[in-house]
């Protein structure tokens, strides 16, 4: 497992050193969420009602922005070939890279969401479930997203293509994330069920997505 | 342990790159791949490295590497190879030492081997400098440092001397000959004399651009 730990530490260090990706994602999240109240007008009841949806959709889009970089630089400088040849199975290497993406993008975006909730007049009771559902759902966003990044490796400027490929796969995460949040905020019950399905989606993508990504990378390298 | 290539057929899409190639790379003797551009030198190296699946034929080590009875347990050939291609796998945002330490850790080499490897490639005094500030030749040397960071019996070098100065070329030849003297296998694609000895040349020819490559090699 030293290879796994080395790759995880390497990617986290690069995320800090190369900067850019996280700043762009956080900035994009802030701008999108800020623009919505401006365009919808200062109707506090309306904003409170749509706040959870906006926070989730904007988070998905912000996370998408940073996805192509997960593999693109490694592919361009030849590192990906060396990673594919190492004793560590490529699937585990991809899991390490996806985990690094979650830690360096998913977690910071989740931590920023409550701040943006203030702007949308999010109900007080909704803050704990907001953070809980996002922490539980963002791993799926990173792990599934990396599949799209792998599939578009050799197409220049594949960013938009990644969005087209990956956004439909995010729909289950989005549905159960929001329904868990609303159930908790409105006290209508059903929180546990939605939350557990959300967790199941994340766990399944943790296991299955690296298999798909590794297969896509092998195809791209050959 | 020798590297055995048996009636190999390599395809890129519909195009046949190499057909019916049979060759042997003996331990302690460099196999130099030569031939005009487009002859398939890089493709062959990538196939040996396991990045490209042969359409027919096989590439294997003989006898099978030790450590297992079952064929499934044996390490993949790729795990026993170092491939240094046109790209150096160097991250500009990291320092020279950080680049080398990462590859050592990832490829399973000892952390204590990083500094000696950098010294061998005369990069020790640049260890703390960000790789972005290196010249092309220095980046190349940092890419080649990977060869010494983790022990591998098979070295695959694709035009290793590109952008190296005369002194660095001698250094590379010295390091490669050291690997050969220790019974290592080395396959290098090259257009210029590398100074590897002993060496045997395998000349690849350009194949006609036909949809189907039925007839055999050069």
Provide ipTM, 2 decimals. 0.85
Query: Which residues from A are below 8 Å from B90, CB to CB?
Result: 77
The residue of chain A nearest to residue B92, with distances taken between CA atoms, is A18
Establish if B79 touches chain A: CB-CB under 8 angstroms. yes
Q: How far apart are the first and last CA of chain B?
A: 27
Contact between B41 and B189 under an 8 Å Cβ cutoff? The reply is yes
| B116 vs A: CB within 8 A | no
Rounded CA-CA distance B122/A220 in Å is 35
Q: What is the mean pLDDT of chain A?
A: 90
CATH level 2 (architecture), domain B2-68+75-89+136-203: 3-Layer(aba) Sandwich (3.40)
Cβ contact B83–A10 (<8 Å)? no
**Angle formed at CA B77 by CA B74 and CA B80, multiple of 5 degrees:** 95
Give Cα separations from B81 to A78, A134, B77, B147 (angstroms): 15, 42, 7, 9
Q: Position of tokens 């395809």?
A: B11
Instruction: Please compute the mean of the pLDDT values over residues A52-66 and round it to a whole number.
Output: 91
pLDDT score at A175: 93
Q: Is the pLDDT of residue A54 over 60?
A: yes
The phi, psi pair for B15, rounded to 5°, reads -90, 130
DSSP B206: P
CB B47 within 8 A of CB B59: yes
Domain map of chain A by residue range?
2-221
Distance between CA atoms of residues B94 and B211, nearest Å: 45
Give this prediction's pTM.
Answer: 0.89
The number of CA neighbours under 13 Å toward the Cβ of B138 is 17
Q: Which of B79, B89, B108 is the closest to A78 by Cβ?
A: B89
Chain B: closest CA distance from residue A139 (Å): 24
Q: In whole angstroms, what is the distance from residue B85 CA to residue A168 CA?
A: 37
What was the pLDDT predicted at A168? Answer: 92
* Interface probe with B: pick from A85, A93, A214, most Cβ of B within 10 Å: A85
Tell whether B72 is within 8 A of chain A (Cβ). Answer: no
Q: How many CA atoms lie less than 13 Å away from B66 in the CB half-sphere?
A: 2
- Distance between CA B69 and CA A77 in Å, rounded? 37
| Residue-level pLDDT at B4 | 87
Q: Where are the domains of chain B?
A: 2-68+75-89+136-203
Residue A145 confidence (pLDDT) above 90: yes
Lowest mean pLDDT among A94-98, B66-70, B108-112, B180-184: B66-70
Top pLDDT among B208 and A178 is at A178
pLDDT at position B74 is 61
Neighbours of A135 (CB within 10 A): 16
Per-residue pLDDT averaged across B97-121, rounded?
91
Residue B147 has pLDDT above 50, yes or no: yes
Q: Are strands B2-12 and B56-62 parallel, antiparallel or unpaired?
A: antiparallel
Strand partners, B16: B11
Cis peptide preceding A122, ω within 30 of 0: no
Q: Pick from A10, A85, A221: which is nearest to B102 by CB?
A: A10
Q: For chain A, how many residues are written?
A: 222
- pLDDT average, residue stretch B183-203: 87
How far away is chain A from the Cα of B51, in angstroms, using its nearest Cα? Answer: 5
Cross-chain Cβ contact B102/A6 below 8 Å: yes
pLDDT band at A208 (very low <50, low <70, confident <90, very high): very high
Q: pLDDT tens digits, residue range B69-102?
A: 445 556 788 888 999 988 999 999 899 999 999 9
Q: B133 pLDDT band (50/70/90 cuts)?
A: very high
What secondary structure does DSSP assign to B133-164, as a single string?
GS-HHHHHHHHHHHHHHS--SEEEEESTTTT-
B206: pLDDT confidence band, cut at 50, 70 and 90?
Answer: low
Q: Would you call B51 and A84 a contact, using CB atoms and an 8 Å cutoff?
A: yes
B45-69: average pLDDT: 80
Residues of B in contact with A73 (CB under 8 A): 91
The closest CB to that of B93, out of A17, A85, A221, belongs to A17
């Amino acid at each position: 497992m030293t290879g796994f730990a080395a790759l995880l530490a390497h990617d986290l260090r690069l995320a800090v050193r190369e900067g850019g990706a996280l700043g762009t994602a956080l900035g994009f999240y802030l701008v999108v969420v800020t623009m919505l109240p401006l365009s919808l007008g200062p109707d506090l009841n309306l904003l409170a009602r749509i706040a959870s949806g906006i926070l989730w959709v904007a988070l998905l889009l912000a996370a998408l922005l940073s996805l192509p970089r997960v593999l693109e630089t490694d592919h361009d400088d030849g590192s990906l070939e060396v990673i594919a040849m190492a004793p560590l199975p490529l699937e585990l290497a991809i899991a390490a890279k996806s985990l690094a993406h979650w830690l360096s993008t998913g977690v910071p975006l989740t931590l920023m969401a409550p701040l943006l909730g203030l702007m949308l007049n999010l109900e007080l009771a909704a803050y704990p479930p907001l953070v809980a559902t996002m922490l539980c759902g963002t791993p799926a966003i990173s792990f599934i997203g990396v599949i799209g990044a792998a599939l578009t490796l050799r197409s220049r400027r594949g960013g938009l293509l990644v969005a087209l490929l990956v956004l439909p796969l995010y729909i289950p995460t989005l549905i159960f994330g929001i329904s868990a949040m609303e159930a908790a905020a409105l006290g209508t019950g059903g929180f546990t069920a939605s939350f557990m399905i959300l967790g199941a989606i994340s766990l399944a993508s943790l296991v299955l997505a690296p298999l798909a990504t590794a297969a896509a990378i092998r195809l791209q390298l050959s | 342990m020798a590297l055995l290539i048996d009636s190999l057929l390599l395809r890129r899409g519909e195009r046949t790159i190499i057909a019916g190639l049979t060759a042997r790379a003996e331990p302690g003797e460099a196999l130099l791949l030569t031939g005009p551009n487009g002859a398939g030198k890089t493709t062959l190296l990538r196939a040996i490295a396991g990045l490209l699946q042969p359409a027919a034929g096989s590439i294997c080590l003989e006898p099978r590497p030790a450590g297992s009875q079952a064929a499934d347990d044996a390490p993949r050939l790729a795990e026993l190879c170092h491939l240094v291609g046109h790209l150096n796998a160097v991250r500009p945002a990291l320092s020279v030492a950080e680049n080398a330490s990462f590859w050592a850790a990832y490829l399973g080499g000892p952390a204590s081997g990083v500094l000696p490897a950098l010294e061998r490639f005369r990069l020790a005094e640049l260890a703390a400098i960000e790789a972005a500030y290196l010249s092309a030749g220095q980046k190349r040397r940092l890419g080649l440092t990977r060869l010494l960071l983790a022990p591998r019996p098979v070295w695959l070098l694709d035009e290793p001397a590109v952008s190296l100065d005369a002194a660095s070329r001698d250094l590379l030849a010295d390091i490669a000959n050291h690997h050969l003297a220790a019974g290592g296998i080395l396959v290098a694609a090259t257009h210029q004399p590398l100074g590897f000895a002993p060496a045997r040349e395998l000349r690849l020819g350009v194949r006609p651009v036909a949809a189907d490559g039925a007839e055999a090699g050069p």
